[in-house]
Amino acid sequence: MLIPKPAQSAYENADTDIREMLDRMIAELQAAPSWEQRSTQFLEIIDALELAFEGDEDADDEYDDGADGLDTAALDEDDLDDDDEFDGDEFDDEDDEYVEEQAAADGKVNGWHGDDVVPADDGDDDAVVVEEFADVLPFYVGAVLERLGETKIERPEQAAFYLLSCHPEHTEAAQSWLEKGANMKRFQKFVDETPDYEAILEMMDDRYGEEDDDEDEDE
């Protein structure tokens, strides 16, 4: 499945410190010989990012230079899309139909990408501090993937991370790949065999499911 070039760049919108951190991540992933190994590296990177975001003193020193940027990263309010959220169904690792339902729902598997790419803090007076790692993760995933410059999705491990991207072009390409042949079963097998990735899906579902619940209460 072909991967269109994102219309907007998450990487170019990041400040210098964040770009330097992204460059280190990208170099690590480029060094991996295949997506089977790359997916393991990506999960380790995400784990280090989350530790740094939460201010964990034991976070990997490799990302310490970017920890402050992660901890104080700010987003423009307009860049967080509240109109197209996750449907709030709780992930159940005993129910293999969950992923398939999410992939088919409204043509989307996530609700965390919007029309505008999420930038890092640019000093905007209207910026708000990001308090949830789930809010900023798609930005980092999208920025890294766009710099990898891949043109095709060919494996379930690869599709799994494109589904997390802030770029609609990435998620749409991954969704299209899932719809082909037995790819959904291959993806589900990857999820079942990769608890760390499954935990990321749960985190994203919990975050966006909560927002949906709040909106329902307001109505």
Least confidently predicted of 65-74, 167-176, 207-216: 65-74
Q: What is the mean pLDDT of residues 117-131?
A: 49
Query: In the predicted model, is pLDDT for residue 212 greater than 60?
Result: no
Instruction: Please state, in angstroms and rounded to a whole number, the distance separating the CA atoms of residues 21 and 80.
Output: 23
The Cα 77–Cα 193 span in angstroms is 36
User: Which band of pLDDT confidence, cut at 50, 70 and 90, is reported for residue 71?
Assistant: very low
Flag whether pLDDT at 13 surpasses 70: yes
Residue 217 pLDDT > 60, yes or no? no
> Is 60's pLDDT higher than 90?
no
Q: Higher-confidence residue: 118 or 197?
A: 197
Highest mean pLDDT of the ranges 54-68, 115-129, 161-175: 161-175
Model pLDDT, residue 26: 96
- Of 6-15, 41-50, 96-105, the least confident: 96-105
Q: Given a cut of 50, is residue 175 above it in pLDDT?
A: yes
CB 128 within 8 A of CB 75: yes
CA distance 102 to 93: 14
pTM: 0.72
